[in-house]
Amino acid sequence: MSQPTRSGSENAAGQADGGAVSAHRACVESDRLMGVLDVPLGNWYPPSSPVSPSLSASLPEDRRSHCAAMLAELRERHDRECPHCTHATAHQRTVFGEGDPCARLMFVGEAPGETEDTLGRPFVGKAGRKLDEMIQAIGLRREDCYIANVLKSRPPENRAPLPLEVERCSPYLVEQLLIIRPRVIMTLGGPATKMLMNTDVGIMKLRGSWSQWVAPPGSPIVSIPLMPTFHPAYLIRNYTLETRAQVWSDLKAVMHRLAETA
């Protein structure tokens, strides 16, 4: 199938504005990356200026180093006292999270898997490589974002997090969010979405629609926009045109929002 809308408007846009042409090109490349070149575009149009990693790089360095120090302190405290992770026994290493301490976009998954457990880093296995592709598809680099999980140690046999584990470990994720204060949160899969949206509704119903993470009362911020999408491991297992288009549509919504709030 061809892409009539994009190629049809490219010349006209190019004559009016060279930036729009490169934004178009970036989007076509992103479609290729996500394997969805033959999906109809609908109403989507690329942001007038592409989302740029330099947007976060232009923050004052003192804010970045302040947030980095707060995260380092939180990490130490977590490893010393998390009521879940200090009692869990099936893991090798805790996986606190990593990325830009002032990231505008934060991804939240459910819990470390085997590779993450070995390396002590989030999303570095097969699902992590798919997440890297998703990040590149919206013109960012992994290091421009912050990546964390609800649980910071691997559950036995990679089973889903238990409610009590979430209750005990998730306050540290909340603290991470309050330090980083991203412009947008993207939850990856059901457990992260349920926890941050405080709902029992499944990911199939929630993905693709904007919601909010509501900060605890008394926090310096009230809420952060949240876009739920499928977990990259689900995307790999269900690599159909439909699922890829859904994830790509969620990513585009995030890209748009970031461009609007630049």
Q: Which of 46, 50, 101, 112 binds ligand URA (CB under 6 A)?
A: 112
The packing angle between helices 241-260 and 18-34, to 10°, is: 150
Which helix (H) or strand (E) segment is 116 a member of?
helix 114-119
Question: Least distance in Å: CB of 4 to ligand URA?
Answer: 37
149 binds ligand URA (CB under 6 A): yes
Q: Which of 99, 122, 139, 190 binds ligand URA (CB under 6 A)?
A: 122
The CA distance from 18 to 193, in Å, is 39
* 96 forms part of the interface with ligand URA (CB under 6 A): no
Closest approach of ligand URA to the CB of residue 19, in Å:
35
Using CB under 6 A, pick the residue from 110, 117, 165, 250 that binds ligand URA: 110
Indicate whether 155 belongs to the interface with ligand URA (CB under 6 A).
Answer: no
Find out whether 153 and 85 touch, Cβ atoms under 8 Å.
yes
Considering the complex, state which of residue 28 and residue 74 has its C-beta at the smaller distance from ligand URA: 74
Measured CA to CA in angstroms, residue 95 lies from 3, 9, 121, 122, 152 at distances of 42, 46, 5, 6, 5
Of 39 and 227, nearer to ligand URA (C-beta) is: 227
Q: Return the residue nearest ligand URA (CB atom).
A: 109
User: At residue 60, what are phi and psi to the nearest 5 degrees?
Assistant: -60, 135
Residue selected from 123, 146, 172, 213 as contacting ligand URA according to rule CB under 6 A: 123
Closest CA to 39 of 47, 48, 30: 30
DSSP state string for 157-202: GGPPPPHHHHHHHHHHHHHHHHHH--SEEEEESHHHHHHHHT----
Among 50, 101, 113, 182, binds ligand URA (CB under 6 A): 113
Residues in the chain: 262
Nearer residue to ligand URA within complex by CB, 36 or 111:
111
DSSP 233: H
Residue 123 or 213: the one with the smaller Cβ distance to ligand URA is 123
Positions touching ligand URA (CB under 6 A) are: 109-113, 116, 122-123, 127-128, 149
